[in-house]
Amino acid sequence: MTIASSGPREALIAAPVVAPPTTTPPARRRTRLTRNRWGYAYVAPFFLVFGCFSLFPFLYTAWVSLHETSLSNIDGGTWVGLENYRNLLQSEFFWNAARNTLTIGILATVPQLCMALGLAHLLNYKLRHRTFFRTVMLMPYATSIAAATLVFAQIFGRDYGLINAVLEGVGLERIDWEGGTWTSQLAIATIVTWRWTGYNALIYLAAMQSIPGELYEAAEMDGASRWRQFLHVTIPALRPTILFTVIVSTIGAVQLFGEPLLFSGNGTTNGGTSNQYQTLGLLMYQQGWSNFHIGQAAATAWAMFLIILVIVGAAAVVGRLRARADR
């Protein structure tokens, strides 16, 4: 299909010749392309589906959160005002889940992004088997949450898990990974880190490759070591990309759901016997689909969104201030 790729280019080269300048004055041509009511027809299919299944539900959740209602009650239910939000703020489960989401989020995001940065740096060397390494690093991203969690749940198992077998092999005690608060959260964070590190590394790598080489030459002439070059050339140049990955990872971390759901191995929404790894996503699902308190679940969903807005806003402000301080 060479026509596909070379056609437009040929046409482009031929265009000035083909188009007789006298028949259509340039001004009129521009109008025909720039004032185009057909634009609506082209975006219509997208907005039709998007409006029905994303935008409308998103706004309707706010309405639901002000009601006491059940899943079958599409017309609303009983108006309770801010009652659901008041319940939420007074509920120890909410604060517990918020705390867990925060700690798992930090345990998963910070090491993940640091390792991704290091990996990208390594991948940016002149490498043999470059494509092989890049592809292998992305394998975990191609694995699903369900598959990854099932495998890691076995690896972290108390009685027959691989990690405990190794610990015992070197003379250490077995750890009840799922039972403890920190250990279970660490294990869940490990799953997240495993799945996303390679993906973030590739994003960093792409950004690194667009840093002009002259910057490194200049730094080297000034006698900067490899490490200082990384610190003073690479990192500042990557700042927008780092901000982007921080925001995306944060949004992902606040929504964490599948990993804590499947980690226990019995598919309950409690997040462990003492809710030690129940996240906000899991709590919302429990309120709605186990306790059938749909208004409360909607309020929780909105709380999650507000948390995202606050964190993303803070990250953006910090990023902007840092960028200004550098200048």
Partner 1 sequence: MATLTLPGRSAPTEPPRAPVRRRRGRGGKSASAGPVAYTLLTLSALVSIFPLYWTLVAGSHTNAEIAATPPPFLPDASLFENMGRALEEAPIGLAILNSVIVAGSITVGTVLFCTLAGFAFAKLRFRGRGLLLALVVGTMMVPTQLAVIPLFMMIAELQWVNHLQAVILPTLVSAFGVFFMRQYLVSALPDELLEAGRVDGASTFRVFRSIVLPAARPAMAVLAMLTFLTAWNEFFWPIIALTNSNPTVQVALAGLGSGYVPQRSVIMAGTLLGTVPVLVVFAVLGKQIVGGIMQGAVKG
Contacting partner 1 within 202-261 (CB under 8 A): 202-203, 205-209, 211-213, 216-217, 219-220, 226, 229-230, 233-234, 241, 244, 251, 254-255, 257-258, 261
Task: Kindly identify the residues of this chain, within the stretch 13-52, that bind partner 1 according to CB under 8 A.
Answer: 14-15, 18-19, 23-24, 29-30, 32-40, 42-43, 45-47, 49-50
- # of chain residues touching partner 1 (CB under 8 A): 136
The distance of closest approach from Cβ of residue 21 to partner 1 in the complex, given in angstroms and rounded to an integer, is 10
> Is 119:193 a contact under the CB 8 Å cutoff?
no
Minimum distance from residue 239 beta carbon to partner 1 (Å) = 13
Give the pairing type, strands 78-79 and 67-68: antiparallel
Nearer to partner 1, 153 or 325 (CB): 153
Residues linked to residue 79 through DSSP beta bridges, in sequence order:
67
Q: Are the C-beta atoms of 271 and 159 separated by less than 8 Å? A: no
Q: How far is the CB of 16 from partner 1 (least distance, A)?
A: 8
Of the pair 127, 323, the CB lying nearest partner 1 is at: 127
Beta carbon of residue 178, minimum distance to partner 1 (angstroms, whole number): 13
| Contact pattern for partner 1 over residues 265 through 304, marking x by CB under 8 A | xxx-------------x--xx--xx----x--xx--xx-x
Look up residue 60 and give its amino acid: Y
CB of 12 to partner 1, least distance (A): 5
CA 164 to chain centre: 31
**Closer by beta carbon to partner 1, 231 or else 321:** 231
- By residue count, the chain amounts to 327
Q: Which is nearer to partner 1, 107 or 301 (CB)?
A: 301
Identify which of residues 107 and 262 has a Cβ nearer to partner 1 in the complex. 262
Comparing CB distances to partner 1, the nearer of 87 and 124 is 124
SS3 26: helix
Q: Please give the residues from 77 up to 106 whose contact with partner 1 meets the rule CB under 8 A.
A: none
Within residues 151-180, the interface with partner 1 by CB under 8 A covers 151-155, 157, 159-160, 162, 165, 168-169
Q: Which residues contact 273 (CB under 8 A, 6 or more apart)?
A: 179
- At residue 78, φ and ψ (nearest 5 deg) are -90, 130
**In whole angstroms, how close is the CB of 159 to partner 1 at the nearest point?**
7
Residue 78, helix vs strand vs coil: strand
Which residues, 6 or more positions from 188, have their beta carbon under 8 angstroms from its beta carbon?
104, 108, 256, 259, 260, 263, 277
Q: Per-residue string for binding with partner 1, 120-139, x by CB under 8 A?
A: -xxxxxxxx--x-xxxxxxx
| Residue 55 sits in the site that holds partner 1 (CB under 8 A) | yes
Q: Count Cβ neighbours within 10 Å for each residue of 113-149 and write b for 16 or more, e otherwise.
A: beebbebbbebbeeeeeeeebeeebeebeeeebeebb
- Of 269, 250, 264, nearest to 312 by C-alpha is 250
Closest approach of partner 1 to the CB of residue 142, in Å = 4
Region of 125 please: left (phi>0), alpha (psi -120 to 50) or beta: beta
Q: Which is nearer to partner 1, 124 or 181 (CB)?
A: 124
Position of tokens 């930090």?
106
Contact residues for 271 (Cβ-Cβ < 8 A; gap 6+): 97, 100, 260, 264, 277, 278, 279, 282, 283
Coil vs helix vs strand at 74: coil
Taking CB under 8 A as the binding criterion, the range among 96-104, 119-127, 176-184, 318-326 that sits at the site for partner 1 is: 119-127
Nearer to partner 1, 160 or 325 (CB): 160
Which of residues 276 and 293 has its CB atom nearest to partner 1 in the complex? 293
